[in-house]
Structure 1
Amino acid sequence: MRRLFYKGILADTIEIGGADAHHLMHVMRAEPGQKVIVVDDENQVARMEMTAFTSDTVTMKLVERLDADTESPIRLVLAVCLLKADKMDFVVQKAVELGVNCIVPVASHNCVVRYDSKKAAQRQQRWQKIADEAAKQCGRTALVEVRPIEPLQKFLCHAWYEDDMDSEFLFCYENEQNVSVRECLQRTTSERYLLLIGPEGGFTLEEAEAVIKAGGQSVTLGPRILRAETAAIAGLSIVQFEKGDLGS
């Protein structure tokens, strides 16, 4: 059943506009009586029935509220250095399916792709659209923010893990041989995890030192060399399995 995210709070009757209304009317060819799942800004979920249409809105009435929270018990942020377009698309989609709460595209020294400000904004919009569609497809009860592209040094200056929430900052580093992701996770009880993945060319020594200075714990994903997109999916899966709800 089609899932929509409603900018507001669920009520007995609501009105959907914008791209979702256009999709319902002109792509799905929806008719009165058809039902969809709607998630509101407070993560409430309900089955709603379409009752009326205008040129740019769809009116819906509440059929039943659902107890369908699908969010992970942990907060999970993925910071991933820029990959070639199709690979970045893939990582964004799969990260949403794996339960991340936020995705931060990062520009580092060895990134293959470079964007000017206009192209960077277009890419962010594209990735946000992919993330929104993935959230609908996999039954999330919250949308995932894709932040603007940031240089690594600027990213490290942000207080991603310095507020009141207990956090763990992990970065997958090809030169780390002693500390595994699983070992690191098993010795922490953090509520939020920040996972940093490098580009195809890896981190420079200076970048790795900067990440460690900013509080990052270097970890290894194993003895084999993984492609960057593989490392992102593997790292997220391990965190969600050990601390979240993957396989629960």
Structure 2
Amino acid sequence: MRRLFYKGKLADTIEITGADAHHLMHVMRARPGQQILVVDDENQVGRMEMTAFREDAVTLALKEHLDADTESPIELVLAQCLLKSDKMDWVVQKAVELGAVGVIPVRSRNCVVRYDAKKAAARCVRWQKIADEAAKQCGRTALLQVSPVVGLSDFLAAEHKAGDALIFFYENENEQTLKRCLGSVTAKRIVLLVGPEGGFSLDEAQEVEQAGGRSVTLGPRILRAETAALAAVTAVQYDLGDLS
């Protein structure tokens, strides 16, 4: 059953407008009596029936509330350094499916792609659309938030908040494993920092460590950046989240 996210609180009757209404009417060609799942801003899920259609809105009637919370017990954020081609699209989609609550695109020294402000903003709009669609498809009860592109230094100064557990994956780390690091994590919010195709420079690794980041290894093999992101999120969800 199709899932929609509603900006508001579920009620006996609500209206869906904008792109979702257009999709229901003109892509799905929905008719009165058909039902969908609706998730509101408070993560409540309702089974709702389409009862009326206007040019720019669909009216829904609540049939029943559902106990269907699918969110992880940990607040997991992926800070991913920019990747080339469509790899960033893939990473965002999989982060949603694996239960992350946010993706922060980070600009670091060895990033192959270089966006100006206009292109960066357009990319973030695209990534948010990918995230929203993935949330509908995989049954999330909350949307993942894609943040604006930020430089590494600014990320460490502003995006990485006091009290977070900041873990970064560094190919020159040979001793500290992710499992051992997670054994000492008590923070509610965990931020995973994954480098670009070229990895982190020595200066950048030192800068992250000085900001409180803990470097870990993902094993003896060198992983592609997109593989490292997927492996990192999966491992953390298995150890501390809802995949265990």
Alignment of 1:193-204 (within 5 A): 193-204=190-201
Alignment of 1:66-85 (within 5 A): 66-85=66-85
Query: What root-mean-square deviation, in Å, do the aligned CA atoms of Structure 1 and Structure 2 show?
Result: 0.8
* Structure 1 residue runs without a partner (length 5+): none
Measured in 1, the distance between the counterparts of 2:2 and 2:49 equals: 11
Matched, 1:92 2:89: no
Give the superposition deviation at 1:168: 1.3
Report if the CA contact (8 A) 1:161-1:169 is conserved: no
Which deviates further from its counterpart, 179-188 or 216-225?
179-188
Partner of 2:231: 234
Give the superposition deviation at 1:160: 2.6
TM-score, normalised via structure 2 length: 0.98
Kindly, what percent of the aligned residue pairs are identical? Answer: 67
Give the superposition deviation at 1:193: 0.7
Measured in 1, the distance between the counterparts of 2:221 and 2:123 equals: 31
Measured in 2, the distance between the counterparts of 1:192 and 1:96 equals: 16
Measured in 2, the distance between the counterparts of 1:49 and 1:14 equals: 10
Please list the CA deviations of residues 54-103 of structure 1 after superposition, one character each: whole Å capped at 9, or x if unmatched: 00100000011000000000000100000013100000000010111110
| Off by >3 Å, runs of 4+ in structure 1 | none
Give the superposition deviation at 1:189: 2.8
Partner of 1:20: 20
Measured in 2, the distance between the counterparts of 1:159 and 1:116 equals: 20
Q: Secondary structure at the match of 2:19?
A: helix
Partner of 2:208: 211
Measured in 1, the distance between the counterparts of 2:177 and 2:95 equals: 21
Give the superposition deviation at 1:192: 1.6
Please list the CA deviations of residues 38-64 of structure 1 after superposition, one character each: whole Å capped at 9, or x if unmatched: 000000000000000000100000011
Please list the CA deviations of residues 172-215 of structure 1 after superposition, one character each: whole Å capped at 9, or x if unmatched: 00000000111111222332210000000010111000000011
TM-score, normalised via structure 1 length: 0.97
Partner of 1:47: 47
**Count of aligned residue pairs for this structure pair:** 244
* Structure 2 residue runs without a partner (length 5+): none
